[in-house]
Amino acid sequence: MSYMAPVPDEIDAYDLPVSGALPPELTGRYVRNGPNPLPGERPGHWFNGHGMLHGIRLRHGRAEWYRNRWVRTGKLAGLPYVRPGGGRDLTAVSANTHVIEHAGRVLALVENGLPYRISPDLGTDGPLDFGGRLTTAMTAHPKQDPVTGELHFFGYGVRPPYLTYHRLDASGELVHSREVAVPGGTMTHDFAITEHHVVWLDLPVTFQPHLAGRTMPYQWDDGYGARLGVMRHDRPGAPVRWFDVEPCYVFHVGNAHEDASGRIVLDAVRYGRADFTAVWRMAGGSGDPAASASFEGSARLHRWVLDPATGTVREQALDDRAVEFPTLDDDRVGRPARYLYTSDDSAIVKYDLAGGGAGSHRLEPGTYIGEAVFVPAVSGPRGEDDGWLLSIATRHDGSASRLLVLDASNLAAPPVAAVDLPRAVPAGFHGSWIPDAPRRR
């Protein structure tokens, strides 16, 4: 058994052992999503496994429970994604990529279908189409504006409209949708927002019909080109300003913001052609998730500065180490942020984008750690890194997992606390901290 091997069942465990002291302010649930095939299934590409949520409930300095649940989707029930008549069933998806909270709803997400609403105990309430108004898929990487509470997201597809922008208001109502014109069916995994703009990633990984039904039907396409688009999200129907960039692919954005000169600054993890192809092939592997390689690969943190006044773009690598899964303080989404947190397989890496440099918390050999979720320590005025990072670490041999609580302001220090989990939690994708009560800003 390896750290990527799926688990065969759902369990519950209570009163989990804790090393150190859990901060009492951590009262809520940490929930992480990832692919987990049913026993005996061979989904081919790692990304195709059914969504499984792993949750840890913290309250008053105790780890009250751990539980894991498959997301009860149409796909899990055996429904086909492509209907006999050729249409697509947006409920017959894996819901395996992310889990977020917005407007009191917890949603399990995958980019090729509808979101699934999740109950507090990780049960599945069902798909959500916002009263029938959402007719496209929903990205697994929506962005919540920390000031307005609006949730910006999009859907992409293999037929026109290839890309559609959507926005929920702070109450969770779908209030705006519009098509964004792009030349073809690209795999648009992520995007960015700023205070006034959406930043689109129109990059050369495109739909390949001959692969449909056999594996993930997307491949690098040298003929497609690469560009970033800037669109005002506060002006309905605003045009998109496109900037050509060097060919690359981005799975995950760190953040974007508008600088004092009106330029758009985008930080994201960048893959070149060879790096993307290698990671894509390894994630497909032999069809056995236990044999797959790490998702991280040879990606690097990168910056693009887009200048609408001159139509120019400047690109630069911010570091030469291989990292993935960038996160930040959610209060800084779309605004200038000093710190980004990433994973490099066996460490959490903290980038100081203002002061330069990077620090890390490195685990003992033979341990894998994934995405780190930032949780602010206090309400009201605070330093940007005053808080904790939560992440699940798993032994490479699949023998054990722990939820680590790290001090984001002193990342090199030993964990503030560690919760021993009752089983090995396989490597997955993204998660969220869902507090019991909204934090006062």
Domain-by-domain residue ranges, the chain?
Answer: 12-435
Q: Averaged over 101-105, what is the pLDDT?
A: 97
Confidence check: pLDDT of 202 > 80: yes
Domain 12-435: give its CATH superfamily: TolB, C-terminal domain (2.120.10.30)
Per-residue pLDDT of 75-99, as tens digits, reads 999 999 998 888 899 999 999 999 9
Select from 311, 299, 302, 241 the least CA-distant residue to 274.
299
Per-residue pLDDT of 40-56, as tens digits, reads 998 778 889 999 999 99
Rounded to an integer, what distance in angstroms lies between the CA atom of residue 115 and that of residue 108?
6
Cβ atoms of 241 and 231 closer than 8 Å: yes
Per-residue pLDDT of 223-234, as tens digits, reads 999 999 999 999
Rounded to an integer, what distance in angstroms lies between the CA atom of residue 364 and that of residue 113?
38
The single-letter code of the amino acid at 227 is R
Q: Say whether 273 sits in a helix, a strand or coil.
A: helix
Cβ atoms of 316 and 340 closer than 8 Å: no
Question: Does the global pTM surpass 0.85?
Answer: yes
φ/ψ of residue 238, rounded to 5: -60, 140
Confidence check: pLDDT of 313 > 60: yes
Cβ atoms of 343 and 296 closer than 8 Å: yes
Rounded to an integer, what distance in angstroms lies between the CA atom of residue 348 and that of residue 350?
7
Select from 361, 295, 241, 358 the least CA-distant residue to 35.
295
Q: Residue 289: what pLDDT?
A: 38
Residue with tokens 């396989």, as numbered in its chain: 426
Both tokens of 57, joined, read 């409930």
Per-residue pLDDT of 272-282, as tens digits, reads 999 998 888 88
Q: Averaged over 191-198, what is the pLDDT?
A: 98
Q: Residue 288: what pLDDT?
A: 36
